[in-house]
Amino acid sequence: MMYEISEAKDYYVFIEQRKNKIMDVSLELIGEACKLKEKTPGYQVVGILLGHNVSGLAHEAIAYGCDKVIVVDNPRLETFIPEPYTKAMSAVVQEFKPDGLLVGASTIGRDLGPRVAARCKTGLTADATILEVDPENPESKLLWFTRPAFGGNLFGTIICPNHRPQMATVRPGVMVKNAKDANRKGEIINFPVDITDADINVTLGKFVEKIVEGVDISDADIIVAGGRGVGSKEGFELLEKVAKQLGGEVAGSRAAIDAGWLKKNKQVGQTGKTVRPQVYIACGISGAVQHTAGMDGSEYIIAINKDKGAPIFDVAHTAIVGDLFEVLPKLADDLQAAKEAKK
């Protein structure tokens, strides 16, 4: 263990940035850390910002809820490389001694989090969906991390009583970010870390930009999602038409993706993406927990299914028992009329 539990304090969040833009998952985790802070008097929310020429982003992190931001600015951190990032993050942990450390479960976070945990000789809960301060003991500062297990059929709560920091990765879209307050004040700490060429054990090749067709479903305000009940790839043409009519995006359950009806980046659920649109229309989706775990935070859920006992109706605000190919066009017309009436 790098430091004693009695020395540990505050909730830290890794502020992931790419090309000088903070990733939404980090802002979401700042919001969640602020909730944890309310249960732990005297604690603050502290951001860890790594990169090069990124000091300006510290003010943005403060605007979203950080009380302090520790900035490690180094040319060798301009692009994510596991070893230098791990060295910088571990140095921050050793110096400042956080009680809790939250990392987004992005491609970078899934790589960095376990490395830092191993270097700090502590545990790591992966893909946590619920974070809370020990609800059974108001005097405790022990964090409870809950995550799906056994394919989403069970939920397990994991604690780390003997080591610090208490670490967890959290998937994008699971938590809710605070409203931005540009007038918030906070402390910015520039923390130098000596990173040498010896810390970089890879050779960077050519960067290839990922091309995403349409809007990322994680950012969509309206989603029309289909499952096994849609029946075919051709059936999704109706969902595409309705989504376009409403200014939304099409998504699907794992069954639809496995059948080849949609691409993997359109999958919602435990093994796909977590979404929080204003309106989520579930068409022919039974509602297994693996799927609902990725969409039950939507503001309004409309479910269409022939089976009146489908589990999807348990999370839906409006449940429609019927044939989606008859119901969906009528529903789309009604939604479009309501949308026009608001203008």
Residue-by-residue DSSP string for 171-223: -TTSS-PPPP-TT---EEEE------GGG--S------PPP--SS-GGG-SEE
Residue 190: partners with Cβ closer than 8 Å, 6 or more residues away:
55, 71, 73
Flag whether pLDDT at 1 surpasses 80: no
Asked which of 214-218, 280-284, 302-306, 310-314 is least confident by mean pLDDT, the reply is 214-218
pLDDT at 74: 93
pLDDT at 91: 96
Q: Which residue has the higher pLDDT, 338 or 329?
A: 329
For residues 7-36, give the mean pLDDT. Answer: 96
Bridging pattern class, strands 143-149 and 100-104? unpaired
Q: Does domain 217-342 have CATH number 3.40.50.1220?
A: yes
pLDDT tens digits, one per residue of 127-175: 998 999 999 898 899 999 998 776 656 788 999 999 999 999 998 888 9
- In CATH, what number does 5-199 get? 3.40.50.620
Asked which of 24-33, 133-142, 173-182, 326-335 is least confident by mean pLDDT, the reply is 326-335
**Rounded to the nearest 10 degrees, what angle do helices 107-119 and 82-96 cross at?**
50
Residue 46, SS3?
Answer: strand
Same fold, 5-199 and 217-342: yes
Q: What are phi and psi of 170, to 5 degrees?
A: -135, 130
339 — pLDDT class (breaks 50, 70, 90): confident
Residue 84: partners with Cβ closer than 8 Å, 6 or more residues away:
74, 76, 77, 195, 199, 200
Flag whether pLDDT at 252 surpasses 70: yes
Cis check: omega of the bond before 165, within 30 degrees of 0: yes
Return the residue matching tokens 């059974």. 136
pLDDT at 289: 86
For residues 293-302, give the mean pLDDT. Answer: 91
For residues 256-282, give the mean pLDDT. Answer: 92
CA-CA distances (angstroms) from residue 318 to 227, 299, 302?
18, 12, 5
pLDDT at 290: 86
Domain ranges of the chain: 5-199, 217-342
Q: Which residue has the higher pLDDT, 331 or 140?
A: 140
Query: What mean pLDDT value characterizes the chain?
Result: 91
